[in-house]
Amino acid sequence: MPYETIIVEHRGPVALITLNRPKALNALSDQLVTDLGNAVDAAEADDNVGAIVITGSEKAFAAGADIKEMAGFSYMDVYKANFITAKWERVAKCRKPVIAAVAGYALGGGCELAMMCDFILAGDNAKFGQPEITIGTIPGAGGTQRLTRFVGKSKAMEMCLTGRNMDAAEAERAGLVSRIVPVAELVDEAVKVAERIAKLSRPIVMMAKESVNKAYETTLTEGVTFERRLFHSTFATEDQKEGMAAFAEKRQPDWKNR
């Protein structure tokens, strides 16, 4: 499907979604968020896709929600439309793994979008921030919640109250990103990691993702119980039999995705 504001390519089992509004530094317009949601729907429904990478340009992953688009909205406009963050949740709800490959600015909604992905690989020029306070609003797509869970209260509070950015090195130290990659290699590296995941057993990968995500939503005791139930259920899959047999037979597993 052709999209107005994003480009979707398939690299082997990986769907690579590139945000593509370069003149606006990939500001997340309503159209872009709609396109992104539709692309995630398509990737999730496509059996050939085992993992998704979302990226932007070298200058900007995304510089936030589209300020020019939302400047004139009234309370009733945003309330009735559940503006627009309800649509963004599509990325957070995707059951297949989603990697954010972030180069340049990931500000406001851009930082929030990256945090909705399963993990973030950062280019060495990446800058993360929640500058909404400087334009008279606050983060509205989970920034105050997810950033606090990633980096702790002190750093999240400072960033949300001052609007200052974090560079890639600080973001890695703080646990916001999993790794820093030279910007020229970022997308290829993200696709390589996504491909590695996509070649594993798809249902087992989904279970691992579901279990890690549970850690954000529940107590340790409940989370560990949830993990144990899923762990037990892996023993009902063909892929657990195949994976362990392949190890014992010193060969590569031939995953059945069942």
Binding site for ligand HXC (CB under 6 A): 24-25, 27, 63-68, 84-85, 105, 107-109, 131-132, 135, 139-141
> Residue 169 Cβ, how far from ligand HXC at the closest point, in Å?
19
* Residue 249 CB neighbours (<10 A): 9
Q: Quick check: is 132 catalytic?
A: yes
CA torsion through residues 133, 138, 142, 144, sign: positive
Residues 6+ apart with CB under 8 A from 137: none
* C-alpha distances in Å from residue 53, one per residue of 62, 165, 198, 211, 234: 14, 23, 11, 20, 26
Burial label, 182 (beta-carbon count in 10 A; 0-12, 13-18, 19+): exposed
> Residue 160 Cβ, how far from ligand HXC at the closest point, in Å?
12
Q: Which two tokens stand for residue 13?
A: 């089992």
Say which DSSP state 164 is in.
Answer: -
What kind and span of H or E run contains 195? helix 186-198
Q: Give the active site residue among 65, 103, 122, 208.
A: 65
Q: Quick check: is 44 catalytic?
A: no
Distance CA 65, CA 113 (A): 10
Q: Quick check: is 4 catalytic?
A: no
Q: Give the active site residue among 109, 110, 129, 140.
A: 109
* Residue 94 near residue 117 (C-beta atoms within 8 A): no
> Residue 27 Cβ, how far from ligand HXC at the closest point, in Å?
3
Distance CA 51, CA 36 (A): 15
- Nearest position to ligand HXC, beta carbon: 108
Q: Quick check: is 109 catalytic?
A: yes
Distance CA 133, CA 24 (A): 20
> Residue 188 Cβ, how far from ligand HXC at the closest point, in Å?
25
> Residue 222 Cβ, how far from ligand HXC at the closest point, in Å?
30
**Catalytic residue annotation:** 65, 109, 112, 132
